[in-house]
Structure 1
Amino acid sequence: MPGPGARARRRIVFLLCLYSGAMAALTGRLAYWQFVRGEELARMGEEIRAWEMRIRAPRGPIVDRLGRPLAETVTAEAIYARPREVKNPEAVAARLAPILGMKPEDILARLRKNTFYEYIKRRPTEAEAAAVRGMIERGELTGVGLEPEARRLYPEGTLAAHVLGFAGIDMQGLEGLELYYDKYLRGKNGQVRTEVDARGFEIAGGQTSIDPPQPGLTMVLTLDKALQVILEEAADRTVDVTHAKRAALIVMDVKTGGILAMASRPAYDPNHFAASDPATRRMWLVTDAVSPGSIFKPVTAAAALEEGVITLSTPFYDSGRITVMGETISNWNFRGFGAGTLADVMRTSSNVGFATIGLKLGREKFYKWLEAFNLTRRTGIDLPGETVGQRPPFARATDLDLAIMAFGQTLTVTPIQMLAALNAIANDGRWVQPHLLKEFRTPDGQVAEVFQPASRQILSPETAREVQRLMVEVVTNGTGRQAAVPGYNVAGKTGTAEKFEGGRKLDRYIASFAGFAPVPDPQVSVLVMIDEPEGLTYGGQVAAPVFSQIIGDILRYLSIPPQRAPGGPEASPPVPVPNLVNLSPEEARKVAGEAGFGILLEGSGALVTGQFPPAGALVTRGTVLRARAEPELPPPGDGEVRVPDLRGRTLREAADLLAGMELYVTAEGSGTVVRQEPAAGSAVPRRARIRIWLEPPAGPARVSAPGPGPASRPST
């Protein structure tokens, strides 16, 4: 048996083998970490040491077609904390809470987070930021700082709010164009990388790298700020006078399809979007499908003329009603024009005549032209949420459906669909895609991308011009007389659509007017749609005067010279509308009559509190002014006076009037007053300052004299 020496040697060999195996395993493990995962671990170490701060890219501005800003990015401040550097979170939270208007526990919860960086409050007020900055400079706060932060600003407030939409607190597009073109506007964020130790403190002499942000592109719109102001002021007056649920107005460049102005009411301020009602922010011009009513009739006429099923000389006989599949279809006045031609059918907005045309077209041709006019699919306008109208399914459409659809009921369209279809008639038969984007530019002003709208010829130019002339006759001698503009040939069509709910007819209407000017060679097309006006409800009475004022201002703004009316004398010169506000109804009637105007008074109050057109607007004699009479306002308190209505006055007149009431004035612009703050009728202390905005008299509102129009039932 082996001796003690042999056993000792075996133990030594065993220990050597065990040690060698352990060393080999340790060496292999070290080699694995060093050579196999070395780069990965080095990268992880760098990431642990690196503290990153994002530098937000400036969001690209939005400007109108002349470069005037509508949305821009400005620098604000954010209050942040590095929780690991805050020595006494409870005390810091207690100090900051009353300054920032926050709960101490909310601040404390952020300060106790195991993170390198936390926002305490973003977009603080200037006073809040100044207070925190002072505390930091005095050494009263540790681990708390302020950093610059971008904020989206809409300098014109509510102007074009539904079109622009808004961006959120992180500068992300949330609605409107801000959402639709978000990837072009938001740019690319940069970042700062700094080395920190395990406790989160910056390492002295450590490496710092900066990746600069890339700003977003500048978006140039087809919108014109001046035209947008004209449109929105008209929308405000319209809703104010008619007490409508809502209103939509669109102005479109006939040739290019570019939207020059687009307004929806009620309005909201995108600078404070969180405080607004989502229903108010809804851009119903593209999201809601409604019955178009009689503004659809030019489409039916164009389709029938192009198909050759009728001509301009085709005889019609309108007795006031027609029976289709056992159902009686009546005209709006239950009267017919007797024997006539297509011009009479259009001029009188005859439901019977257009029902006859719809039956002559037949189902296949009628639906073919719905497709051609792009009324069965989206227009492609660059706004989110666009929908498409509805119609009876082709396979189930009956003669009764065709007869009623021919004059704009039973089917639905969006307002933008309807205007784009009528714009094709104005554009000599070429349908063009409506759009808001003109081009994108780089931050240094170079053009990066130009919008190219889709377009196609859907009608022969000859047919389109025939329908244009028929629509001029509507304004000259038909239901659209109140849409006339002195000195210009205006084409248009009235519409009054009945509203239904669950198949049940409601006693509510959508009054509308759509048209274009000048003819021939129209330059702009306009749609006015007023949802559920109170009192008068006909498009010819409610929407046509608004159209007249808008398109008259637009033609003058675009420097389109006046024309002579075809075969007629120059229109009589316009005269200024008298101020009726603050008068009793009896006095208002007397003043309006002496100036040569009619007057329609709404309400039963003792004092006129609003009128349309506004005082100072230039209109033709004989125009029916609309005024609202409400209970007399309570007398102002001691030392207070009522602000007068200054609209339509010159700066000198406004200043003299206010001086007599011991009020001061601050004025912007030149010409006549178009807007004021506080509003007329407000009670203010003496020596208060009234702010007014003036515009040159070259673009006053104009409303043509009304002719005899519908009196009892809608021209559907």
Structure 2
Amino acid sequence: MKLFKSKRSTNAHPARNRKLFGIGLIGFTLLILGGFVLRFSFVATVGEVDSNNLAKQRQKQYRTDTVLQAQRGAILDRTGNVIAEDSNTYTIYAILDKQNKNGDKPDYVTDKAKTAKVLSRYLAISEDKILARLNPTKKHVFQVEFGTPGTKLSLAIKKQIDAEKLPGIHFRETPSRLYPNGVFASHVIGIAQAQDKGGGLTGVMGLEKQFNTVLAGDNGYRRSETDAYGYKLPNAKTKLKTPVNGGTVYTTLDSGLQSYLETLMTDVQTKYEPKALTAVLMNAKTGKILAASQRPTFDASTGEGLGDMWRDSLVEDNYEPGSVMKIVTLASAIQSGKYHPNEYYQSGSVKLDGGTVNDWRTGGWGSIPLSKAFPLSSNVGMVKIEQEMGAGVWKSYLDKFKFGQKTGITLPGETNGRISFAQPLDQAITSFGQGIEVNVMQMMQAISAVSNDGKMLKPQIVSKVVHKNGKETVYKPEVVGQPISKETAAQVIDAMRHVVNDEDGTGVAYKMPGVDLAVKTGTGQIASPQGGYLTGDSNYIFSVAGIAPASDPKYVLYITMKQPQKMTEPAETILASIFKPMMQRALDTTANGTVSKDTNTADVPAVTNAALTTAQDTVKKAGFDVATIGTGNKVVQQLPASGTKALRDSRVLLLTNGAMTMPDLTGWSKSDVLKFVQLTGKKFKLVGDGFVVRQSIAKGTLLGDASGTIEFKQQ
């Protein structure tokens, strides 16, 4: 009986369970549905999902943003000639995939032989090599490029190739910086390179870096709403932000003087192979730098040589200046009243606490007056003068001349320099330029006090900046101190005259007929990593500083040369091969930049971008000879640059948009050949001096990557 009742009770539960389950399911469904309703209500009301704004997401989905690239500002010389400006370069490539079409027309290379023949006229690569690239060994290659000769092509060359209408030939555009003068104060001007995916250019050296915020423009954009196929949506508005182009930097450089200096520097670098070479030409009354260069250097238009030296030696390298420092020692002694020119001293050597100082001439010159110490460049005499001043007075003048401090020139990376002054020996040797480290611009600043009646000028490389908003900042000559008087400056200049005019003076090699010249030479020792100083005839920093005309200074020229590896001539002879022609060229130019009437010079006309025949006629009518490089019909670059002065009947080189071919160089001077090397960016071995008598690459040969030899002989 109990068993029967238990069975009936068990059978009654399923119905009730089903009912409870149904109620629970309905409740759960209503709860989920309520959650969805609340969620949808929240999304509809607030317009956000997981903190993402739906309206903005929709805008992003249908919005198309196009960057409108701003132009980077230009860098100009003092008369407005372009040194650096914005440009685009192009890389050529060829599509080989036969499935690629443009509509119904094939968009691949259909005639490889014809394509190779045509492209060989515009690229520095042979027809055979182009054809080999168009027939790769690998199968299923979609496209090919043509190596270095197919990159960094100008717009002019691109247009010429486009005009040939070759199927499958395309170009990839790259924002770039155009440096039309090639090797031209390269470390001073610097370079700008692409630093981000957007292709924007950023200055990474020199003025390009120093004034990057001025030169860099502000990109704009065009924003519109389109569908998935790129069509503009109905009633959609287009938002436009106009780009703002970068500002302009005007330098103090004179293109004519700068180009000439580069030619002279390259000649010395090629012939004597110094480890370092610097030269700066400055206006003696304003501090404006008219020309400045260094070696090693690089071609800013191609980048060749950039890997060898990134530092601007003029401001970033410290060195012991040697005897040019005696200008400052003598000036300080005269100004302090501690200079006694008629007092005699025993030259040759002098013992000091900590060591012995020797004259460069073994045994010295016997007992001589202190007035002879400067023209003879006697170290012992300078020590005598320093001791009569006293270390305290001498150090005060080093401070007045601002050694150990940056000049503040508008170039990045300038060093402070360093003065060792703890011990009597340290104090003494600073009098002749050892134990003190300077940079080139610090020496230019110090010498300016002598050339400018005692008022010391800050070296100036920028004359004006025009900002993006049109506002101008003008950099005026800046007097940064007056360490000496006008009378002292005149006495120092007179002593510098003796260096070049006295028979036993150390600067006789720099004498220039008809030029009132004041000079001081220098031979600075180089510290050895093992301690002490290096030994050997060439292990010095040789230098010369000159002021002309001495009676009314207009120019200061300072040159340094470190460790010439092929010292086949005396250091003075080597430096004079730059100093004398450079100073003469400067003196032929008046202070305001015009050439004196008695010089046989003329303005180089502007023919870049002109048709070749027109350009040739224009150059000839201006009084110059003309040489053409390349097979094109349009001029893309010229040397000397337009607006500069050059001797009549001298050679003007024109680079065309066609394939770069070898001209007949027979009879060309070395300076003309150096311009040719600079313009083409090709490597040549130059043998001998004088004029070209032989070239290893025949006239008309395509200039590829191979280097050649050019031989010179005196006529």
Distance 1:19 1:242, change over 3 A: closer
| 3-state SS of 1:486 partner | coil
Match of 1:210 in 2: 240
Question: Among 170, 180, 187, which residue is 1:162 paired with?
Answer: 187
Match of 1:479 in 2: 506
Structure 1, unmatched stretches of 5+, are 81-85, 109-120, 562-573, 575-647, 655-662, 691-716
Match of 1:591 in 2: none
Deviation at 1:674, TM superposition (A): 4.5
Deviation at 1:64, TM superposition (A): 0.7
Question: Among 374, 377, 397, which residue is 1:369 paired with?
Answer: 397
Structure 2, unmatched stretches of 5+, are 1-15, 94-98, 113-129, 144-149, 594-598, 600-645, 653-662, 678-690, 703-715
CA contact (8 A) 1:494 1:539 kept: no
Match of 1:550 in 2: 582
Distance 1:506 1:197, change over 3 A: farther
Question: Among 542, 556, 560, which residue is 1:529 paired with?
Answer: 560
**In terms of mean alpha carbon deviation, does 348-357 or 366-375 score higher?**
366-375
Q: Distance in 2 between matches of 1:255 and 1:379?
A: 17
Question: Among 203, 225, 228, which residue is 2:258 paired with?
Answer: 228
Alignment of 1:120-269 (within 5 A): 150-169=175-194, 170=199, 171-197=201-227, 201-203=230-232, 205=234, 207-269=237-299
Distance 1:531 1:687, change over 3 A: closer
Question: Among 516, 527, 531, which residue is 1:489 paired with?
Answer: 516
Q: Distance in 1 between matches of 2:164 and 2:588?
A: 58
Match of 2:323 in 1: 294
| 3-state SS of 1:425 partner | helix
Q: Distance in 1 between matches of 2:592 and 2:30?
A: 103
Alignment of 1:583-602 (within 5 A): none
Deviation at 1:261, TM superposition (A): 0.2
Question: Among 54, 59, 62, which residue is 2:67 paired with?
Answer: 54
Q: Which amino acid aligns with 1:466?
A: Q
Match of 1:441 in 2: 466
Deviation at 1:293, TM superposition (A): 0.8
Q: Distance in 1 between matches of 2:272 and 2:647?
A: 24
Q: Distance in 2 between matches of 1:464 and 1:100?
A: 74
| 3-state SS of 2:79 partner | coil
Deviation at 1:221, TM superposition (A): 0.6
Deviation at 1:317, TM superposition (A): 1.5
CA contact (8 A) 2:651 2:672 kept: no
Deviation at 1:407, TM superposition (A): 0.7
Deviation at 1:438, TM superposition (A): 0.9
CA contact (8 A) 1:480 1:540 kept: yes
Deviation at 1:537, TM superposition (A): 7.5
1:518 equivalenced with 2:543 (yes/no): no
Distance 1:428 1:683, change over 3 A: same
Deviation at 1:187, TM superposition (A): 1.2
Structure 1 residues 389-410: Cα deviation after superposition (integer angstroms, max 9, x where no partner): 2232x4xx21111221111112
CA contact (8 A) 1:195 1:207 kept: yes
Q: Distance in 2 between matches of 1:37 and 1:382?
A: 52
CA contact (8 A) 2:92 2:171 kept: yes
Distance 1:436 1:101, change over 3 A: farther
Q: Distance in 2 between matches of 1:101 and 1:277?
A: 33
Deviation at 1:482, TM superposition (A): 2.0
Match of 2:352 in 1: 324
Question: Among 437, 441, 445, which residue is 1:412 paired with?
Answer: 437
Deviation at 1:184, TM superposition (A): 0.9
CA contact (8 A) 1:494 1:544 kept: no
Match of 1:304 in 2: 333
Q: Distance in 1 between matches of 2:51 and 2:439?
A: 63
Structure 1 residues 597-630: Cα deviation after superposition (integer angstroms, max 9, x where no partner): xxxxxxxxxxxxxxxxxxxxxxxxxxxxxxxxxx
Deviation at 1:260, TM superposition (A): 0.5
Question: Among 519, 535, 539, which residue is 1:506 paired with?
Answer: 535
Q: Distance in 2 between matches of 1:443 and 1:289?
A: 36
Q: Which amino acid aligns with 2:672?
A: R
Q: Distance in 2 between matches of 1:265 and 1:106?
A: 44
| 3-state SS of 2:437 partner | coil
TM-score, structure 2 length as denominator? 0.67
Distance 1:129 1:539, change over 3 A: closer
| 3-state SS of 1:245 partner | strand
Distance 1:16 1:415, change over 3 A: closer
Distance 1:26 1:688, change over 3 A: closer
Alignment of 1:680-695 (within 5 A): 680-683=692-695
Question: Among 462, 465, 480, which residue is 2:490 paired with?
Answer: 465
Match of 1:570 in 2: none
Deviation at 1:177, TM superposition (A): 1.4
Q: Which amino acid aligns with 1:182?
A: N
Q: Which amino acid aligns with 2:444?
A: L
| 3-state SS of 2:250 partner | strand
Q: Distance in 2 between matches of 1:135 and 1:470?
A: 69
Q: Distance in 1 between matches of 2:440 and 2:135?
A: 46
Deviation at 1:649, TM superposition (A): 11
Deviation at 1:245, TM superposition (A): 2.3
Distance 1:194 1:673, change over 3 A: same
Match of 1:390 in 2: 418
Structure 1 residues 446-478: Cα deviation after superposition (integer angstroms, max 9, x where no partner): 662112454222222222222122112212212
Q: Which amino acid aligns with 1:501?
A: S
Structure 1 residues 234-258: Cα deviation after superposition (integer angstroms, max 9, x where no partner): 2123233433223111011222221
Q: Distance in 2 between matches of 1:52 and 1:653?
A: 51
**In terms of mean alpha carbon deviation, does 91-100 or 32-41 score higher?**
91-100
CA contact (8 A) 1:513 1:539 kept: no
Q: Which amino acid aligns with 1:160?
A: A
CA contact (8 A) 2:47 2:53 kept: no
Alignment of 1:19-168 (within 5 A): 25-26=38-39, 28-34=41-47, 40-77=53-90, 150-168=175-193
| 3-state SS of 1:420 partner | helix
Q: Distance in 1 between matches of 2:651 and 2:215?
A: 46
TM-score, structure 1 length as denominator? 0.67
| 3-state SS of 2:484 partner | coil
Match of 1:564 in 2: none
Distance 1:103 1:689, change over 3 A: closer
Q: Which amino acid aligns with 1:222?
A: T
Q: Distance in 1 between matches of 2:135 and 2:233?
A: 33
Distance 1:682 1:666, change over 3 A: closer
Q: Distance in 1 between matches of 2:68 and 2:40?
A: 45
Distance 1:101 1:63, change over 3 A: farther
Question: Among 451, 475, 494, which residue is 1:451 paired with?
Answer: 475
1:280 equivalenced with 2:277 (yes/no): no
Match of 1:360 in 2: 388
CA contact (8 A) 1:517 1:523 kept: yes
Match of 1:430 in 2: 455
Q: Distance in 2 between matches of 1:286 and 1:495?
A: 19
Distance 1:194 1:471, change over 3 A: same
Match of 1:350 in 2: 378
CA contact (8 A) 1:244 1:530 kept: yes
Q: Which amino acid aligns with 2:80?
A: G
Deviation at 1:675, TM superposition (A): 1.0
CA-atom RMSD in angstroms: 4.8
**In terms of mean alpha carbon deviation, does 527-536 or 176-185 score higher?**
527-536
Deviation at 1:159, TM superposition (A): 2.0
Structure 1 residues 34-86: Cα deviation after superposition (integer angstroms, max 9, x where no partner): 49999943233212322223222111111110111111223445799xxxxx9
Q: Distance in 1 between matches of 2:300 and 2:60?
A: 40
Q: Distance in 1 between matches of 2:555 and 2:78?
A: 16
Q: Which amino acid aligns with 1:451?
A: Y
Q: Distance in 2 between matches of 1:168 and 1:279?
A: 17
Deviation at 1:222, TM superposition (A): 0.2
Q: Distance in 2 between matches of 1:172 and 1:122?
A: 20
Distance 1:546 1:79, change over 3 A: closer
CA contact (8 A) 1:516 1:523 kept: yes
